[in-house]
């Protein structure tokens, strides 16, 4: 071990604070130069320590640089419109939802020091700095207490006290850890957790592992550096608890301004939102110019479903951008509608809007920015404008149905019922979805509309009239396109015909109603043929194989209770 070490100290508010320790002077000077990029830094100095014994060292200052920061602007919180959940313990206070709120609330401050909420709440030094930053913490507590009191009806003063107690508790815990001799993060985080579990309770081991990880992240003075470290750790990690921990910290980083560098040069806001949603699904096809290299392994991890919190962070961030007043195509207003229509497929899932009411609210908020009137009339006008902008009617119906489940849907119910009314007099399924779609896809989309209407908080008569007409049109489509007959081709074996028909009827491509009843009736007629079992295994010479095939088919039938009821 070297007999020398080098302390790098930063001057903050007339105090010298040790930021890092390095083993060589070169490393120390590199770190000092990096610390000078911090806008709060009034100077740096390097102290060389000559270790006489294990407990005694002689200190010599070998470098110092000072600067004037008297013109620095006071730190201010960012306005946020929601602060949930309502935490009651210090453990909840350090959870993802709370950290996400902290990240948005203190975004300016955290950006100025390039640190995430995880790093702050697991570092006593950083917590003290945050609390020393003017009225920043007090303003944050006031703002969150106001939001939560208004949302829950709780007393504002009581909530402020609870938040202050939580802050004191996590500060005290971070201070206690400063006296621990903790191992370093030399291998995987899972291995570190195992080592800590050997000497600490499970909850403490996780907290200490996060503290060690936070210290490594604090040494990385760029968002890209932090993200690269986390991606590298996640790629080699096998411990589920460690992956979950890393996912939470990764989500913290993805909530910062790094998203712009991560996605590279996007031509429009609409394209950036699409790329963000693609990345959240692990479906980003290729990194674009200027994108960080770690976007490729991150995309792979998201595709495997290992990072649910990171995915949630990206989706929530995309929705905030949709809610904003920023143009989707900033350079050409005439392309705004086209950009919106390119975006909408990314907001859809097989069952409707991917985030249901949240997506619907975000879309409405975007169109409300362009309305002259405000309040209730403005929202109603925004709904009409958004519906006209939808790429097709099916998407528009999903949007209207999702709006019925939003807060304040009562104010929109009149216009929602008015906009749903034409659906009861549709002339064909082609008025809901393009007839150019393959039959299975078209039926799936129209059936999706049926289920959306059934789940919507609409008056029962509106639901009945709408879904009654959709069911009629689906039956007409099934008849006109010979859907069932094409499955039950006489040239096929009875076995193939039966399997195809039962699979189709149980696939969910048709909703309960007349169209599905017609398909089941045809299937049941086939299943009730004389000597069905014998004819089903015709051509299979091996008795054991024949028995297995027949058993598998009967298991398929038993898995469909609706079929058994119809055959009874």
* Domain assignments of the chain as residue spans, ordered by start: 4-66, 73-179, 221-323, 325-481, 488-567
Residue 205 in tokens: 């081991």
Summarize the chain as % helix, strand, coil (round to 5): 60, 5, 30
Angle at 385 between CA 383 and CA 390, to 5 degrees: 95
Cβ proximity of 23 and 3 under 8 Å: no
3-state secondary structure of 126: helix
Residue 13 pLDDT level (bands cut at 50, 70, 90): low
Q: Which of the two residues, 37 and 500, has the higher pLDDT score? A: 500
pLDDT value, residue 567:
65
User: By C-alpha distance, which of 39, 43, 49 is closest to 10?
Assistant: 43
Q: Which residues contact 373 (CB under 8 A, 6 or more apart)?
A: 381
Predicted confidence (pLDDT) per residue in 40-52, tens digit: 788 899 998 887 6
Residue 390 in tokens: 């939808």
Residue 79 pLDDT level (bands cut at 50, 70, 90): confident
State mean pLDDT over 297-311. 95
Q: What is the 3-state secondary structure (H, E, C) of 51-76?
A: ECCCCCEEEEEEEEEECCCCCCCCCC
Predicted confidence (pLDDT) per residue in 432-488, tens digit: 999 899 999 999 999 999 999 999 999 999 999 999 999 999 999 999 999 999 998
pLDDT over 80 (residue 521): yes
pLDDT value, residue 1:
47
Q: For residue 11, give the H/E element and its range.
A: strand 4-12
How far is it, in rounded angstroms, from Cα 224 to Cα 217? Answer: 11
């Amino acid at each position: 071990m070297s007999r020398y070490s080098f302390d790098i100290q930063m001057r903050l508010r007339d105090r010298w604070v040790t930021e890092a320790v390095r083993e060589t002077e070169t490393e120390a000077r590199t770190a000092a130069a990096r610390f000078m990029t911090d806008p709060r830094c009034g100077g740096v100095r390097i102290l060389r320590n000559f270790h006489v014994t294990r407990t005694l060292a002689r200190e010599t200052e070998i470098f110092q640089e000072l600067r004037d920061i008297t013109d620095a602007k006071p730190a201010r919180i960012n306005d946020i419109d929601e602060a949930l959940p309502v935490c009651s313990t210090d453990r909840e206070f350090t959870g993802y939802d709370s950290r996400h709120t902290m990240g948005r609330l203190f975004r300016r401050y955290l950006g100025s020091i390039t640190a995430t909420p995880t790093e702050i709440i697991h570092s006593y030094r950083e917590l003290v700095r945050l609390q020393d930053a003017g009225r920043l913490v007090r303003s944050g507590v006031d703002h969150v207490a106001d939001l939560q009191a208004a949302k829950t009806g709780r007393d504002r003063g009581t909530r402020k006290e609870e938040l202050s107690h939580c802050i004191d508790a996590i500060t005290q815990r971070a201070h206690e850890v400063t006296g621990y001799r903790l191992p370093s993060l030399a291998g995987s985080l899972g291995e570190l957790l195992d080592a800590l579990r050997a000497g600490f309770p499970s909850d403490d081991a996780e907290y200490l592992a996060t503290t060690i990880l936070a210290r490594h992240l604090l040494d990385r003075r760029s968002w890209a550096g932090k993200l690269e470290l986390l991606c590298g750790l996640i790629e080699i990690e096998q411990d589920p608890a460690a992956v979950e921990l890393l996912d939470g910290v990764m989500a913290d980083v993805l909530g910062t301004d790094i998203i712009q560098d991560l996605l590279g040069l996007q031509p429009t806001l609409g394209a950036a939102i699409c790329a963000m949603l693609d990345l959240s699904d692990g479906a980003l096809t290729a990194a674009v110019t200027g994108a960080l290299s770690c976007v490729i392994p991150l995309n792979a991890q998201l595709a495997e479903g290992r990072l649910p919190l990171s995915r949630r962070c990206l989706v929530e961030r995309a929705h905030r951008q949709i809610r904003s007043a920023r143009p989707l195509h900033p350079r050409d207003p005439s392309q705004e509608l086209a950009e919106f229509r390119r975006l909408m497929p990314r907001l859809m899932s097989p069952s409707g809007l991917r985030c249901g009411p949240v997506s619907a609210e975000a879309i409405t908020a975007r169109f409300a920015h362009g309305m002259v009137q405000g309040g209730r009339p403005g929202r109603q006008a925004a709904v009409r404008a958004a519906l006209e902008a939808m790429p097709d009617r099916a998407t528009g119906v999903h949007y209207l149905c999702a709006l019925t489940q939003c807060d304040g849907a009562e104010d929109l119910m009149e216009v929602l019922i008015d906009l749903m009314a034409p659906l009861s007099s549709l002339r064909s399924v082609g008025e809901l979805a393009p007839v150019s779609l393959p039959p299975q896809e078209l039926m799936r989309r129209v059936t999706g509309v049926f289920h959306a209407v059934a789940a919507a908080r609409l008056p029962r008569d509106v639901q009945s009239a709408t879904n009654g007409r959709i069911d009629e049109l689906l039956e007409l489509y099934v008849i006109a396109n010979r859907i069932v007959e094409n499955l039950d081709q006489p040239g096929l074996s009875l076995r193939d015909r039966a399997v195809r028909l039962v699979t189709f009827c149980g696939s969910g491509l048709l909703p309960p109603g007349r169209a599905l009843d017609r398909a089941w009736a045809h299937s049941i007629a086939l299943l009730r043929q004389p000597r069905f079992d014998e004819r089903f295994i015709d051509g299979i010479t091996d008795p054991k194989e024949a028995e297995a095939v027949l058993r598998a088919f009967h298991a398929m039938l038993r898995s469909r209770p609706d079929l058994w009821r119809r055959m009874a």
